[in-house]
Structure formats: structure tokens, C-alpha cells
Amino acid sequence: MTILISNAVARRHLMSLYGLDGTRSGPMRKDELAAAIDMLGFVQVDSVNVLERAHHHILFSRSQTYRRQDLRHLLEKSGALFENWTHDASIIPSAFFPYWQHRFAREKERLRSRWKSHFGAEGFDDDIARVLDRVTTNGPVMARDFEGDRPSTGWWDWHPSKAALEYLWRTGDLAIARREGFQKVYDLTDRVIPGHHLGERIDPDAFVDWACRQALVRLGFATRGEIAAFWALLTPQQLDDWLARHRDELVPVRVEGIAGDKPRAAYALPGTVESAHAAPGSPDKVRILSPFDPLLRDRARALRLFGFHYRIEIFVPEAKRQYGYYVYPVMRGDRAVGRIDVKAEREQDALVVRAFWPEPGVRPSKALTSRLETELERLRRFAGVGRVLFEDGWQR
């Protein structure tokens, strides 16, 4: 029997699942931070720093006691976390590293073919061997350490050594030992990842089972495409074979969209429906989220369940932008209520609010403005600036 999950229950469940329901108490220190990242599965890393880098913002949204130095400790000292690739560059629990060995094996073939055709077949293997020998002999390196290479001017204009470093990282021979500023420092993987994670080998069937189940644990309920996209670890055939083998175990559900659209068929693990109905309601507070927050990262899912259409306009010509270079989703409770253009202007020692656009159907009110101002003050302290500054006409 297929079970219908109402939109209200679905939203409430996701807020709870992603640690945004306001029930978390106590300080977030190293152990709690590691547990929070494990709960999310991974935290995306992004280079844009308008308010704060995405990974810090995502974690701060779960607890205002989050400390950046604790994340750095888990990444660079204890080895509890590592950086690699999911759908994009991400911070991942090191306990998952054995499963990533399957990704590395796949990427060695895929990237080798793709990158050789782009960077040039001649010399590509030599560049990889040269860079790996340099790291093995001399220790950690950065891309800028390779003097004499053609300088890089962008993603597809990397110099040969930068391309080799990224290939070796994406395929598991190198790992990120730390970052200086935001620049990666690469070292041999067995010098970065704790040894007890390096020796573990996961057979292919166990790997596929883990990837599917753990995606469903973190998604709550998901379509075939959403399961596949969560880790970006599996081939379509691997996922289809797993679904066929476990069809009798999975709970078929239909999840209602926010606009009363036809409910979407999805899969859930046993117990998920009960957990969804037991999820607490979200408090009536405003949160300004990172554009890469796990709650809204899947844009199609966010549109279906929250009625929130979002796209990054960084690469859109300024004259054609609907909102701005980098605007942030705004939630009130479990509803998307708007988006805000806000930036930490260090020279002004201010969090500058340029514009707030309410979502269609959201009426501006004193209560909404008050809660938004409270959240901006919280972000001001997080960004480390002295005041919140509202530009004229910021309420659109």
C-alpha cells in the first residue's frame, strides 16, 4: 500500500532531519559538530565569501555556538573529516572514506579520458607522475609551488601541475591536508587519512547498499533520481539493481507538493513515515540560509516541497539578474518567505542589507521584520562586524 505524506508533514520532517527545527540544545563543540556533519552526510565547500564561506554558514545555521576552529581541528588535526567530491567539493566524515575508494576507481577512468582530451594527451601522464613524485619526496604542496608552469586564469585554464594535483586528489592518491586562506594544501592520502580508514575494503554490493540506504536515511523519502544525486556515487544501473532487490523492503510513499500538485511517488525506509508524523513543528523564527544548505540544495526538490525557486546569479550578466550577485534564502519556520541581498562589508565594519524580497503571498509585517532583524543581528556577530546597516529602499 502506498502511503500519502502531506506537504506539511514532509516540510516538518525535513526541518527536523536537517537540524533546523530548533530542538537542538547545548553547545556545538568538536564531538557535536562531527555528529552534525555525519547527520547531514556532507557539507558543501564553496569559494564565494560574501557573508561567510558556505560550509561555515551551513554549520552556524544549526547552532550559533558553532566555532570555526573546531571544524579546522576535525579536518586538520584529528582526521575525523576529509575533503573530497560528492556532487561538488565537500567536507565528509572520514568514516566514509572506505566507500569513496569505489568513487576513486571510477573517477580514474572517467577523468583520465576527459582531462587528457582537454589538457592534451601528450605529457599528461608525465605531469601526474612528476607531481606525485614531488609530493612523495618533499611533502605537502600548493598549486602555486610549481614555479615555471603556465599560470592559471580559470577552471579550464589550469596550469599542468594544477590539473595533475586536482586529478590526483579527485582520484584518491592525494588528500587535502589543510587550507591556507582558501588554497588547498595537498599531501599523500596515507599521511592525511587515519590509517584505520585506509585499510578497510568494502565489496561492491556492500558499497551500493550503503550508498542507497544512507542517502534515504538523510533524505527521509526520495525519488530514484534524488537517491542517485545525493552522494553522486552510483551509476544508474547500480541504483536500479538495488531498488529491484529491495523493493519488498522499501515503503512506497507519495509526497504532496506545496501547491497542491499531484503527489510525487518516492521511496522510504521502514519507520520513516512514523518519524515524519512525530517530527516537532519548527519555531516561528527567521533563518537566513546558505544557498548551498542541504535543505534547499536540490533546487527541484525545494521548489516542489517549499515552493521556492532559487538559482545562483553569479554567472548571470548584471543587467539580466532578477535579484543579485549572491542572495540568501530566508525561511520562517518551515516556510520559505523570501530572499535577501546582504554582505559583510569589512571596510565599513558592517553587515550591509541591500534588499529583501518577500516570496509571492508573503505579506510584510512588523512580526516578520522584527524576526528578520533578530536573525541579521545573529549573523552580524557571526561575521564579526560591528553593526547592521540597511540601505535605503531595502524592503522591496
Task: Map 126-183 to HEC letters.
Answer: HHHHHHHHHHHHHCCECHHHCCCCCCCCCHHHCCHHHHHHHHHHHCCCEEEEEEECCE
| Residue range 292-325, pLDDT digits in tens | 999 999 999 999 999 999 999 998 998 999 998 9
Residue with more model confidence, 388 or 150: 388
pLDDT-derived band of residue 160, with 50, 70 and 90 as boundaries? Answer: confident
Q: Which triple of cell numbers denotes residue 199?
A: 585499510
Report the alpha-carbon distance of residue 197 to residue 73 in Å, rounded: 18
Is residue 106 predicted with pLDDT exceeding 80? Answer: yes
Min mean pLDDT across 1-5, 117-121, 140-144, 194-198 is at: 117-121
Mean residue pLDDT of the chain comes to 93
Query: Please, which residues have CB within 8 angstroms of residue 75's CB and are 6 or more apart in sequence?
Result: 81, 82, 83, 91, 176, 178
| Residue range 238-262, pLDDT digits in tens | 999 999 999 999 999 999 999 878 8
| Residue range 326-354, pLDDT digits in tens | 999 999 999 999 999 999 999 999 999 99
Is residue 178 predicted with pLDDT exceeding 90? Answer: yes
What would you report as the CA-atom Rg of the chain, rounded to the nearest whole angstrom?
22
| Residue range 64-100, pLDDT digits in tens | 999 999 999 999 999 999 999 999 999 999 999 999 9
pLDDT-derived band of residue 236, with 50, 70 and 90 as boundaries? Answer: very high
Q: Find out whether 307 and 359 touch, Cβ atoms under 8 Å.
A: yes
Q: What local confidence, expressed as pLDDT, does residue 344 receive?
A: 97
Quick one: what percent of the chain has pLDDT higher than 70? 95
Q: What's the whole-number mean pLDDT along residues 159-166?
A: 87
Q: Which of 138, 136, 144, 217 is nearest to 174 (CA)?
A: 136
Beta strands in the chain (DSSP E): 3-5, 43-44, 81-85, 89-93, 174-180, 183-188, 221-222, 251-255, 264-268, 286-288, 328-332, 335-345, 350-358, 387-390
Alpha helices by DSSP H, listed for 294-391, are 299-306, 366-383
Amino acid at 364: P
Q: What's the whole-number mean pLDDT along residues 160-167?
A: 89
Is residue 39 predicted with pLDDT exceeding 60? Answer: yes
Q: What's the whole-number mean pLDDT along residues 381-396?
A: 95
